[in-house]
Structure 1
Amino acid sequence: MAAALAALSFVLALLIAPAARAQAIRVTDIAGREIVLAQPARRIVLGAWVSLDALSLIHPDPVGLLAGWAEAGANAIQPAILRKKFPAIDSVPVIGKGSFETISIEAVIAQKPDLVLLSRFDAFRFGAEVAPGLDQLAAAGIPVAIVDFFLDPLGNTEPSLRLLGKLLGRETQAEAFLAFYRQHLAAIESKLAAAGGSTRPAVFLHAFATRPECCFSAGPGTIDGFIRLAGGHNIGAEKLTAPVGQLSQEFVLTRNPDLYVATAISDGPDAGLFALGPGVTRERAAEGFAKLMQRNDLAAISAVSRSRAFGLWHLFVHTPVHLVAIEALAKWTHPELFAGLDPQATLDEINARFLAAPLEGTFWTGPPARR
């Protein structure tokens, strides 16, 4: 009898083993690296420049997933967004700031995560080679997945969010948001196509506009894709070869853009001058933007004098919620064509249907009222 039971157990083990292996999660990240998890990730270390908004879109408790994070870059403002609903955000271990090279690999390993998430922007900051610390994590048996919502957001948002859905066991939620995302972007593209392509107004994206020097802007990638999808032409891409860089004021004035867009955030040393983002009131945003437009170097831009100037939350460049920024840009770039477009209604629906921690505040503003 004992021998028969042993044989039966052996047969059952052979039958169960392939099934167990089949349940393993196997994905390929946007850097072409294979990641294998035995089960959905429940303890995650979040690297710099990986916005927690992406997790918040598909998981009801994104903070509860965190075993540690690099509190910097796109993440610097996250506590303000999440603290009200998830006060535990202040207890998440900080394992680095600024960039991947500041992260203590030993501290990451000590947290015993089952997954580390890195931004492609940070992981490949060392050039063609991936950050060397990944070898140490691999040796410790800790999987690392690389995502991208910044360098090529229009190309990588869908695969990155789909990847997260699989790794977290939240595929249904990820696909639901991506269907919403595709529908809204396709509506803009189809309307532009129906209009015969229309003209492409020249757009000057003035990043972190409160800085005293002019003019930090966007090159190829990042928000350049947003401007193009919205039917505009980014003048920064004419001069810059990197995703971000400096334009001369002379170039901007000579180029005479049709539309001026200033970006700002809600925290940091310059937020007292002009702020947009979580917790910022409409009045504060409008007042700061009006003062910014009085600056001599900016007032000389004809788009400003013609009330074709707007403000946009800078951190849209790090979150899949950037589709709201694209809608705003489309409405500003082609006001008649997109008169019926309502970015606020889109953000309200995202808050209601998807985000575990809603984005509440003022995320764009318009030109000051003429006197």
Structure 2
Amino acid sequence: MKQTRRSGLAAAIAALGLVLALLIAPAARAQAIRVTDIAGREIVLAQPAKRIVLGAWVSLDALSLLHPDPVGLLAGWAEAGANAIQPTILRSKFPAIDKVPVIGKGSFETISIEAVIAQKPDLVLLSRFDAFRFGAEAAPGLDQLAAAGIPVAIVDFFLDPLRNTEPSLRLLGKLLGREAQAEAFLAFYRQHLVAIEGKLTAAGSAPRPSVFLHAFATRPECCFSAGPGTIDGFIRLAGGHNIGTEKLAMPVGQLSQEFVLTRNPDVYVATAISDGPDAGSFALGPGVEPKRAAEGFARLLGRNDLAAIGAVSRGRAFGLWHLFVHTPAHVVAVEALAKWTRPELFAELDPQATLDEINKRFLAAPLAGTFWVSSQAEDGRKR
């Protein structure tokens, strides 16, 4: 009899446990984080990511906008070595960046998948450029990560930044449990870009000034430039026409000097980073003093192949930090380009004030240095 009672009690407890499990399971599923990434893939996390492997160091820019300790989130990365500008920015505030396990160099294709799995991350973050570097086919290794149960999210701040920055940053906000921070930055971002777009629309269909974007201008040969995608969208939103799209089918490529001279662009924009081959080279970026930027730019414009460009002789020559093409802070670059391309419409724009606000309100490690320069002396200020 006692045995029967015990069996009945056990059965009742088991039934109660089953009922509770059934009640709790939907709640647990409801709390799971579900997002769809830029490649249309669903990512599910049980909780916000705390151990992230970066397939490319440039994703640090986005993490720095959303999280007060982006380095503390890293379980490993494909480091870019001496050229890694964002790690340089973060190092002074987050010295632990030098202890992050290096599992590749510069891009996802160099990563050891076994090394990623060994780090036991709860998320791998890839740029679309790296994940689909070989065209429509996803990079080798994604299937291995999926088989190991490691979620992979693909974002894009480079190939089509004006279309993909908002969804990319929004999904990152959800995956990190930092949705409020993502929405705050995106509201700021939209406000600034919509203001430019609205002013251009109100101005009507005036001819667009032609722009020659001279990428990595310190290269001895002319003229590496931008085609469709990447910075071309910034130039169009700023009211200009990128002459590179007339010859290039890919996001980057080489233009002939003859084409550039014949096309006689209205505006010349050279891009640079802060680790030029020597101290006297043209440089822009973190840690670059205004004097160095201005002097290096003047020497660049004195090159025979560049001095022959009409925009240079007319004083319509400008320099821009190249790595704005990798960060959601590119709103600053769009404002600078608008001011240079359509000065009659955007004379009152203040890109420096915009950068100051991004530094103050959003970035865990502020961008401090010289990020643009002009053949006219008022630009290139440092904060």
User: TM-score normalised by the shorter chain: which range applies?
Assistant: over 0.9
Match 1:131 to one of 111, 124, 139:
139
Match 2:257 to one of 245, 249, 253:
249
Q: 2:37 — aligned with what?
A: 29
1:229 and 2:237 are equivalent in the alignment:
yes
1:190 and 2:198 are equivalent in the alignment:
yes
Match 1:296 to one of 304, 327, 345:
304
Aligned pairs, how many?
Answer: 370
Contact 1:49 1:121 (8 Å CA) reproduced: no
Instruction: Please give the per-residue CA displacement for 1:6-27, whole angstroms capped at 9, x wherever unaligned.
Output: 4333222211111001111111
Unmatched segments (≥5 aa) in structure 1:
none
Instruction: Please give the per-residue CA displacement for 1:79-117, whole angstroms capped at 9, x wherever unaligned.
Output: 211011111111111111132221111111111100001
Contact 1:265 1:271 (8 Å CA) reproduced: no
Of Structure 1 and Structure 2, which has the larger fraction of its residues in helix? 2
Amino acid at match of 1:218: A
- Distance in 2, matches of 1:99 and 1:179, equals 30
- Distance in 2, matches of 1:57 and 1:310, equals 27
Question: Which protein has the larger Cα radius of gyration, Structure 1 or Structure 2?
Answer: 2
Q: 1:217 — aligned with what?
A: 225
Match 1:162 to one of 170, 174, 178:
170
Contact 1:151 1:222 (8 Å CA) reproduced: yes
Amino acid at match of 2:266: D
- How many angstroms does 1:127 deviate by? 1.9
1:54 and 2:99 are equivalent in the alignment:
no
- Distance in 2, matches of 1:49 and 1:67, equals 13
Amino acid at match of 2:213: L
Q: 1:108 — aligned with what?
A: 116
1:153 and 2:174 are equivalent in the alignment:
no
Equivalence map 1:1-371=2 (5 Å): 3-48=11-56, 50-72=58-80, 76-269=84-277, 272-367=280-375
Structure 1 residue ranges (4+ consecutive) displaced by more than 6 angstroms after TM superposition:
none
Same amino acid, percent of matched pairs: 88
SS class of match (2:126): strand
Please give the TM-score of this superposition, normalised by the length of structure 2: 0.94
- Distance in 1, matches of 2:221 and 2:376, equals 22
- Distance in 2, matches of 1:189 and 1:271, equals 39
Unmatched segments (≥5 aa) in structure 2:
1-8, 379-383
Amino acid at match of 1:329: L
Instruction: Please give the per-residue CA displacement for 1:227-251, whole angstroms capped at 9, x wherever unaligned.
Output: 0000000000000000000000000
- CA RMSD in angstroms, aligned pairs only: 1.6
Contact 1:74 1:315 (8 Å CA) reproduced: no
- How many angstroms does 1:270 deviate by? 5.8
Contact 2:65 2:363 (8 Å CA) reproduced: yes
SS class of match (2:72): helix
Contact 2:210 2:242 (8 Å CA) reproduced: yes
- Distance in 1, matches of 2:143 and 2:264, equals 49
- Distance in 2, matches of 1:158 and 1:200, equals 26
